[in-house]
Amino acid sequence: MVNFNDDTLDGIFSALADGTRRRVLADLEQGAASVSTLARPHAMSLPAFMKHLRVLEDAGLIARAKDGRVVNCTLSPEPMRAASDWLARYERFWNGQLDSLARYLYHEEEIHPWQTETPPPTPPSNSGSSDASTPPSNASGAPGRTRKR
């Protein structure tokens, strides 16, 4: 396995962050395809689409090869493997954390089962008055000094 550095992984994940580029990779799962074939389903200009291909190529996710006048693209699996390996480390961590949480919650349920009783209703207020209360005053206090002109 090739050991990828942080800059390489940043490029891979940056390339994968765009939906158009992910769709291109999905299209290339079927095998090599020409640039024009890959661009056809996307509603953008060819120069804009070529920028997406350049990002994928710079990240190492695809390779382009010219065959006469046709440029074909193919998937390069090694960068995806590196990204998958990087994600797998965190998957193991989070699975372990979630397993610990599940064990804790199961243990708590065994010790303190959830109460199924409803709490008693709160008694009505004993204010002694049924009149509506008066709203508080908006004044902030005594009027201050006024400026003389």
Q: Is the pLDDT of residue 58 over 80?
A: yes
pLDDT digits (tens, 9 = 90+) for 82-141: 888 888 887 877 877 777 777 778 777 767 666 666 667 777 766 666 556 666 666 666
What is the pTM for the complete model shown?
0.60
Q: Which domains does the chain have, with CATH numbers?
A: 1-112 (1.10.10.10)
Q: What mean pLDDT is reported for the chain?
A: 83
pLDDT at res. 130:
58
Q: Which amino acid is located at 138 in the chain?
A: N
C-alpha 37/C-alpha 98 separation (Å) is: 44
* CB 49 within 8 Å of CB 62: no
**Among 1-15, 31-45, 76-90, 135-149, where is mean pLDDT lowest?**
135-149
CA torsion 55→60→62→65, rounded to 10°? Answer: 100
Residue 125 has a pLDDT of 67
| Burial class for 57, CB neighbours closer than 10 Å (0-12, 13-18, 19+) | middle
135 vs 25, residue with greater confidence: 25
The pLDDT value recorded for residue 94 is: 80
- For residues 21 and 55, the answer to whether their CB atoms sit within 8 Å is yes
Residue the block writes with tokens 């599940």:
102
Predicted pLDDT at 114: 66
pLDDT in tens, 67-78: 999 999 999 989
Selected residue with higher pLDDT from 96 and 41? 41
Residue 1 — very low, low, confident or very high, per pLDDT cuts 50/70/90?
A: very low
Asked whether 42 and 112 are in contact (CB, 8 A), the reply is: no
**What distance lies between CA 134 and its chain's CA centroid?**
50
